[in-house]
Amino acid sequence: MAGIVLVGAQWGDEGKGKITDLLADDFDYVVRFQGGNNAGHTVIHGGRTLKLHLIPSGVMYPHITPVIGNGCVIDPAVLLEEMDTLEADGLSTHRLLISCNAHLIMPYHRDLDGASERRLGSLEIGTTRRGIGPAYMDKASRMGLRVQDLTDEHIFMKKVEAALVEKNDILTKVYGLPGHSAEAIAEEYMGYAERIKPHIADTSAVINRALEADQWVFFEGAQGTLLDLDHGTYPFVTSSSPTAGGACTGVGVGPRRIDRVLGIAKAYITRVGSGPFPTELDDIPGGVGEILTRVGGEYGTTTGRQRRCGWYDAVIIRYAVQVSGITDLVVTKLDVLSELDRIKVCVAYEYEGKRYDRLPCHQTVFHHARPVYEELPGWKTDITGCRRFRDLPKAARDYIGFLEDHAEVPVSIIAVGPAREQTILRRWERRP
């Protein structure tokens, strides 16, 4: 076993940061393969809470090399700020490697993200407004600037000038916003370049060499399956590939390098931003939605927005297992359900008299899908101190068993609190 992928099985914020940090100790490399600073991964390390947006969650361990792969988009100002924060916390970032082929988020990407959301009005996607979508758009339209362009001021300038011909027209004529000057952008980014250059590497070569040498590589996903550009609830998705295939293209490794795919899911489900959500609960005071928000602390790590909360949706998880070839499920925040008398799980949908056991392909069906629930008893006990599966109350074990039956893969890891040690490793052997 050497290549492990961790993907969000829902709409993000499943606890990827915590689980990556927990398992990373056994690994030599932790690699981010997609997304940018739209991600917010919370890691509690030595009593301190760290919010990571770009840097892989394995950065806490001195023996790990954190890597930002080619599939990511990088806002250099945010990256350097994050590095400074970590350094100020006594965590070294000198080992960080950044793919020469990762794309750069430019100031006009942020402007365009905000402007297009404002124009959409009530139809907005609810993006993080960090410039993620516009940066991936430029990548696809072959107009993007890459990390390697930071090493050549002449090329950088030429590419910015070429991009601004179009961007300034859109900003000024379509959105009535000020344009940008190539000189100002170049000056700003060349300032960042000096600090970023020592970290730039051919990360595909580095990771392939490591895997050939039987070193262990952990591919840390951001976002989640239903935010995947191809497989998610389009158009209410992000612009990258958070499913397991994204780890291959986003790092430059072949699929045979992946030994195990961990799919991570909350014991309920949340979503930030717009889009369909069949099991969504109202956040009326004293209601289940309000309890999940309060007990689960469901406020976005990146934007601070309140997350929409709902019952666990087994149809979504089956779908995530399918599109990523998930081998093991990780269930987090089981403790958040401890206040509830009864717990519902969506096992299928209904639409116009028809039952759907699998995620419907057509967005209209998903938008109007009515969840078919099964109800299980709650356990009404504090489980945050449980460390072995058998320590959990029977109702909690039965709940996990129920999720497992519906996912058709084992629940190998269970989290019962935000701290690293608040975890039950059921089917996970530490590296000898």
Q: Which residues are catalytic?
A: 13, 41
DSSP 146: B
Q: Which is nearer to ligand GDP, 186 or 265 (CB)?
A: 265
Give the pairing of strands 97-99 and 328-332: unpaired
List the single partner that 199 binds among ligand IMO, Mg ion, ligand GDP, none, CB under 5 to 8 Å by kind. none
Interface of this chain with ligand IMO, residues 219 to 248, rule: CB under 6 A: 222-224, 227, 236, 238-239
CA of residue 391 relative to chain centroid, distance = 30
For residue 355, count other CB atoms closer than 10 A to its CB.
10
Place of tokens 């609960």: 281
Shortest-Cβ-distance residue relative to ligand IMO: 273
What six digits make up the tokens of 261? 């795919």
At 333, the amino acid letter reads K
Q: Give the one residue of 12, 69, 263, 278 binding ligand IMO; rule: CB under 6 A.
A: 12
Between 44 and 170, CB nearer to ligand GDP: 44
Beta strand 312-313 pairing with 370-377: unpaired
**Dmax (CA) of the chain:** 66
Q: Which is nearer to ligand GDP, 41 or 109 (CB)?
A: 41
Residues 6+ apart with CB under 8 A from 16: 6, 8, 41, 57, 220, 221, 222, 264
- Do strands 269-271 and 308-310 pair parallel, antiparallel, or not at all (unpaired)? antiparallel
Minimum CB distance to ligand IMO smaller for 141 or for 352: 141
Which residue number, 39 or 329, has a Cβ lying nearer to ligand IMO? 39
**Nearest to ligand GDP of 15, 131 (CB atom):** 15
**Counting every residue, how long is the chain?**
432
> Half-sphere exposure of 195 toward its Cβ, with a 13 Å CA cutoff?
15
**Contact status: 332 vs ligand GDP (CB under 6 A):** yes
Q: What are phi and psi of 222, to 5 degrees?
A: -115, 170
273 φ/ψ angles, rounded to the nearest 5 degrees: 95, -175
Contact (CB, 8 A) for 276 and 366: yes
- If one asks whether residue 320 binds ligand IMO (CB under 6 A), the answer comes out as no
Strands 269-271 and 29-32: unpaired
The residues, ordered by sequence, that sit 6+ positions from 376 with a Cβ below 8 Å of its Cβ are 342, 343, 344, 345, 395, 398, 399, 402
From 35-43, 73-81, 278-286, 399-407, give the range in contact with ligand IMO by CB under 6 A: 35-43
Which of the residues 124 through 183 are near ligand IMO (CB under 6 A)? 125-128, 130, 132-133
Q: Does 14 bind ligand GDP (CB under 6 A)?
A: yes
Rounded to 5 degrees, what are φ and ψ at 109? -65, -45
Residue 13 interacts with Mg ion (CB under 5 A)?
yes
Instruction: Tell whether residue 275 is a contact of ligand GDP (CB under 6 A).
Output: no
242 binds ligand GDP (CB under 6 A): no
Question: In the complex, what is the shortest distance from the CB of residue 13 to Mg ion, in angstroms, rounded to a whole number?
Answer: 4
Contact between 130 and ligand GDP (CB under 6 A)?
Answer: no
Task: Check residue 15 for interaction with ligand GDP (CB under 6 A).
Answer: yes
264 binds ligand IMO (CB under 6 A): no
User: Can you tell me which of 21, 82, 113, 335 binds ligand GDP, judged by CB under 6 A?
Assistant: 335
Q: Cβ 14 to ligand GDP, closest distance in Å? A: 5
310 binds ligand IMO (CB under 6 A): no
Which listed option, ligand GDP, Mg ion, ligand IMO, none, makes contact with residue 335 (CB within 5 to 8 Å by class)?
ligand GDP
For position 56 contacting ligand GDP by CB under 6 A, the verdict is no
Q: Which residues make up the interface to Mg ion (CB under 5 A)?
A: 13, 40, 301
Residues that bind ligand GDP (CB under 6 A): 8, 12-18, 40-42, 297, 301, 332-333, 335-336, 415-418
Contact positions vs ligand IMO (CB under 6 A): 8, 11-13, 38-41, 125-128, 130, 132-133, 222-224, 227, 236, 238-239, 272-273, 301
